Structure 1
Amino acid sequence: MPDLVKPFGVQFGQAIDNLKGKLPEATMKWDDLAGPVHGKVFAIAGATNTDLVADIQKSLVDALKNGTTITQFRKDFDATVQKYGWTYRGKRGWRTSVIFNNNMRSAHMAGRWEQLQANKARRPFLQYRTAGDARVRPMHRMWNGLIFPIDDAFWQTHYPPNGWGCRCTVRAYSQADLDDGNLQVSEPFQVKTREVVTRDGEITDRVPVGIDPGWDHNVGQSWIAPELALGQKIAALPKPLQGLLADKAVSPAYQKVLNDNFKAFKTAIKQPVGQAQIVGFMDSGMINAIAEKLPEVELQTTSVSVLDSKTNHLAGRHKVNSPQVWPEEWANNLPEHFRNYQAVLLDKKSGNLIVVPQDSFNTMLPKIVLRLNQRTKIGLSATVVSLGAAAAGDLGNADAYELLLGALTK
């Protein structure tokens, strides 16, 4: 029999891990965070107190663990609202339903994705399934029954849930299952997109037709491989929106995710095998500066990664007693230092970018050297080719470097 998604009310270990492992963060609006960020960050629109957010998250985790219903969650919600004096928008019934149902569905489908990945050698095909009633969205009804390999690009954007209140799911099949049911893999899917426009006429996003803004990502990929999921989302956007999304995507909580995942990647390397780890994404300031001052440079990607073959070499341990060697704490927090820069320069000789983080060590300015548009196993990215430090005067040499953004300060 094909695998089925366990319903709400049944303890589901991976779903609990997903919801429990998210970092709580305060937000003003539902779209303050990019969709893929929600794979690792828990937020409630309009909840600006992190402790309040954490308490609501705990109530949802308890509901998953104990199989309790929305009725009990509403009691917990009321107590939390009273505790913090939170005034929220919308009626209680509607607001609690949105919070409970969407978080439960996302957690279950994220956990389901982990199961499907673990079992894909035996059942490598997924079929899109709707709830089959009158409430199903017309576009989702059109996708009902589509079958694609689990690694097909379709599931990067169309793996459910695909919107607020979406109840769609997937069913896993083996080749024998397909043969027995006289089923076939569907024709390649042509994704049509639409622009998301505010009331003021500002274009803020681009999503596949039929998918709500913020839901055009695979909740399982966003949990298991958050950097890749966000990178895929950014890469799919037109150039003017890529930096803007990165600006809001890398929130304080998500920055911690990037830092922690890089440390884990760095620690796990025993023998380089050509793997890479994304450590960040170019923000709008960096992208705009490159476009303005280096019009001949075509940025093919805005993600920044480190190769495993370089990681243990980057801190400069081979430079014994050199003041250029990055301290271990600095090296471990490379994603944060890349994000918090004071200046970006062009090395005129090599064509590499030099990102200068804030602060300094050994009375020198740290520098992150990037080579653009490099092919890695995770796709195109700018790769960190070296870490080091230099005197402010050296980096200020106009013959060797061109200042693209910011200013050099000690």
Structure 2
Amino acid sequence: MPQPVNLSFAMGLPPKDAVAYFESKGHRITWDWKEMDQAAHAQGFTVAKAAQLAVLQDIREAARAALNEGKTEAWFLKHLEPKLCEKGWWGKQPMVDPRTGEERRVQLGSPARLRLIYRQNMQTAFMAGRYKQMLENADARPWWQYVAILDGKTRPAHKILNGRTFRYDDPFWSSHYPPNGFNCRCRVRALSDSRMEAEKVTPESGVGNMVTEEVATVDRATGQEARRKVTGYKIPETGYTIFTDVGFSANPGANWLGQQLEDVVRRIEAAPPEIARQIVRDMGERVLPDWLERPVAFFPLVVVPEADAALIGAKCQVGRLSQATAGKQTRNHPELGPADYRAAQDAVDQGEKLKDGARSLLYVLDEPGGVVVVVKATVEGDEMYVQSLRRLSRDEAERDRVVRRVKRKSARPQGDER
């Protein structure tokens, strides 16, 4: 007889980061799990059709105890079933679909449902904590290898990914860091350069090989169709694309870290201007060097004056350096280091401001070793991003030439970028 699954034992005692990830998840009430964006799944504890907050709270508290105390799946089921029966959230019950106003019989609590909730939420929490730990050790073990359990229950696509190895910052991991579907048991193994050589592992790259498509999902009860984005990795040697399951094309660990940075940005935006700039400068000293080594989501790099932000239609003042732009900057300007990026705030505070189109501003700090920074507001104006940063030459003639070119470019008539 199969033994009950104990994820805490199977994966090791829960790291504090797994617990922190789980604790950060708020309540999200949804009729159908497909209604919620995959990034929101990473930020909210959700149980489809658990419309009563008390039911959601019971399930969440049991999941928290299971994670913190190493409780088994059998305990989870035994603990919850009587509570959910008492609240009427068990078996098939008539419920009103809030999307259509129609009443229909739906499956609420059941042993199979609770097993899925237990496994999925525990697996996601563990893997989010594991992702953060692996990032912190990426200098020593920069290569990550996909590991699937090769038995009769494993999806064929996950078997194909088994053993494939990518750098920790490869775009593959933005979508394919496990879990990649319900009941996915895959994990990731971190390897050093010497281990890669000893095992004769050839790394792959997702650059240019990641594919995103829209697929139709159908509610089996109502026949309603919705379209969801799903991401796949196109295997270079065969051209075959391995997609995640629908709803799993996001890395919960990366989304969690991104949410933490969003919280920081909210605090910066709410602070008085001088304090906001000081927070950014302090983060530039303490956090930016590590972030540039292992970029995740974005980094709050500059705070621009409210009047400047208004010029380009921005409703915010924090200029973010995105993970993608940081990668582009590293490829095109590998000579730039943390001190160069910290100088971006100096350019905003002391440099010359030039409007460059409907949504962009240039800040030019015209001095030996100064910088040119470009910030751009999104179309909606809710966010603002640092598009590029470059150092100016210490040679006066060369610096003057570059500054004149920048000014000429910004002075040209610009079309409406909206």
Task: Give the TM-score range, shorter chain.
Answer: 0.5 to 0.7
Quick check: 31-40 or 123-132, which moved more?
A: 31-40
- Given that 2:28 and 2:45 are in contact with CA atoms closer than 8 Å, whether structure 1 keeps it comes out as yes
> Which aligned pairs between 1:374-389 and structure 2 lie closer than 5 A?
376-377=385-386
Q: Give 2:228's aligned residue.
A: 205
Q: Give 2:30's aligned residue.
A: 27
Cα gap change, 1:265 to 1:154, in 2 (>3 Å): farther
Taking the aligned partners of 2:114 and 2:358, their CA distance within structure 1 comes to: 53
Q: 1:198 aligns to what SS in structure 2?
A: strand
Taking the aligned partners of 1:216 and 1:263, their CA distance within structure 2 comes to: 26
Taking the aligned partners of 1:178 and 1:304, their CA distance within structure 2 comes to: 30
- Given that 2:178 and 2:184 are in contact with CA atoms closer than 8 Å, whether structure 1 keeps it comes out as yes
Cα gap change, 1:176 to 1:216, in 2 (>3 Å): same
Unaligned runs of 5+ in 2: 1-7, 92-106, 232-241, 285-296, 309-314, 318-356, 361-375, 389-417
Q: Give 2:202's aligned residue.
A: 184
Return the offset for 1:193.
Answer: 4.3
Taking the aligned partners of 2:387 and 2:61, their CA distance within structure 1 comes to: 34
Cα gap change, 1:147 to 1:274, in 2 (>3 Å): farther
Return the offset for 1:72.
Answer: 1.0
- Alignment counterpart, residue 270 of structure 1, candidates 275, 278, 293: 278
Q: Deviations over 1:374-403 (max 9, x none)?
A: 983589xxxxxxxxxxxxxxxxxxxxxxxx
- Given that 2:377 and 2:384 are in contact with CA atoms closer than 8 Å, whether structure 1 keeps it comes out as no
Q: Give 1:224's aligned residue.
A: 257
Taking the aligned partners of 1:188 and 1:11, their CA distance within structure 2 comes to: 30
Cα gap change, 1:217 to 1:128, in 2 (>3 Å): same
Taking the aligned partners of 1:75 and 1:96, their CA distance within structure 2 comes to: 10
Taking the aligned partners of 2:386 and 2:282, their CA distance within structure 1 comes to: 7
- Alignment counterpart, residue 65 of structure 2, candidates 62, 65, 76: 62
Give yes or no for the alignment of 1:308 onto 2:302.
Answer: yes
- Alignment counterpart, residue 214 of structure 1, candidates 247, 250, 258: 247
Q: 1:24 aligns to what SS in structure 2?
A: strand
Unaligned runs of 5+ in 1: 229-257, 277-302, 317-329, 333-349, 354-368, 380-403, 405-410
- Given that 2:268 and 2:279 are in contact with CA atoms closer than 8 Å, whether structure 1 keeps it comes out as no
Q: Deviations over 1:236-288 (max 9, x none)?
A: xxxxxxxxxxxxxxxxxxxxxx5x44333445652646999xxxxxxxxxxxx
Taking the aligned partners of 2:197 and 2:158, their CA distance within structure 1 comes to: 25
Return the offset for 1:305.
Answer: 11
- Which one-letter code corresponds to 2:161 in the other structure? W
Q: 1:140 aligns to what SS in structure 2?
A: helix
Q: Give 1:284's aligned residue.
A: none
Return the offset for 1:108.
Answer: 0.5
Q: Percent identity?
A: 27
Return the offset for 1:352.
Answer: 5.7
Return the offset for 1:114.
Answer: 0.7
- Given that 1:9 and 1:69 are in contact with CA atoms closer than 8 Å, whether structure 2 keeps it comes out as no
Cα gap change, 1:69 to 1:304, in 2 (>3 Å): closer
Cα gap change, 1:305 to 1:64, in 2 (>3 Å): closer
Taking the aligned partners of 1:132 and 1:46, their CA distance within structure 2 comes to: 33
Taking the aligned partners of 1:272 and 1:227, their CA distance within structure 2 comes to: 15
Taking the aligned partners of 2:193 and 2:85, their CA distance within structure 1 comes to: 54
Give yes or no for the alignment of 1:174 onto 2:192.
Answer: yes
Taking the aligned partners of 1:375 and 1:226, their CA distance within structure 2 comes to: 17
Return the offset for 1:201.
Answer: 7.8
Return the offset for 1:212.
Answer: 1.1
Q: Deviations over 1:113-163 (max 9, x none)?
A: 010111111111100000121211111111111111100000000110000
Taking the aligned partners of 2:386 and 2:191, their CA distance within structure 1 comes to: 28
Superposition TM-score, scaled by structure 2 size: 0.57
Q: Give 1:251's aligned residue.
A: none
Return the offset for 1:308.
Answer: 2.8
Q: 2:78 aligns to what SS in structure 1?
A: helix
Q: Give 1:196's aligned residue.
A: 215
Larger radius of gyration: 2
Q: Deviations over 1:287-329 (max 9, x none)?
A: xxxxxxxxxxxxxxxx99986322xx3399xxxxxxxxxxxxx
Return the offset for 1:179.
Answer: 1.3
- Alignment counterpart, residue 120 of structure 1, candidates 126, 138, 157: 138
Return the offset for 1:18.
Answer: 1.1
Taking the aligned partners of 1:80 and 1:162, their CA distance within structure 2 comes to: 31
Give yes or no for the alignment of 1:159 onto 2:177.
Answer: yes
- Which one-letter code corresponds to 1:191 in the other structure? M
Cα gap change, 1:262 to 1:82, in 2 (>3 Å): farther
Q: 2:303 aligns to what SS in structure 1?
A: helix
Q: 1:127 aligns to what SS in structure 2?
A: strand
Return the offset for 1:82.
Answer: 3.2
Q: 1:204 aligns to what SS in structure 2?
A: strand
Taking the aligned partners of 1:371 and 1:194, their CA distance within structure 2 comes to: 24
- Given that 1:20 and 1:57 are in contact with CA atoms closer than 8 Å, whether structure 2 keeps it comes out as no
Taking the aligned partners of 1:315 and 1:51, their CA distance within structure 2 comes to: 46
Cα gap change, 1:9 to 1:117, in 2 (>3 Å): closer
- Given that 1:148 and 1:186 are in contact with CA atoms closer than 8 Å, whether structure 2 keeps it comes out as yes
Taking the aligned partners of 1:18 and 1:140, their CA distance within structure 2 comes to: 25
- Given that 1:128 and 1:170 are in contact with CA atoms closer than 8 Å, whether structure 2 keeps it comes out as yes
Q: Deviations over 1:8-41 (max 9, x none)?
A: 5723221111112211122111112101112211
Taking the aligned partners of 1:136 and 1:103, their CA distance within structure 2 comes to: 19
- Given that 2:89 and 2:109 are in contact with CA atoms closer than 8 Å, whether structure 1 keeps it comes out as no
- Which one-letter code corresponds to 1:78 in the other structure? E
Return the offset for 1:187.
Answer: 4.8
Give yes or no for the alignment of 1:76 onto 2:99.
Answer: no
Number of residue pairs matched by the alignment: 275
Q: 1:196 aligns to what SS in structure 2?
A: strand
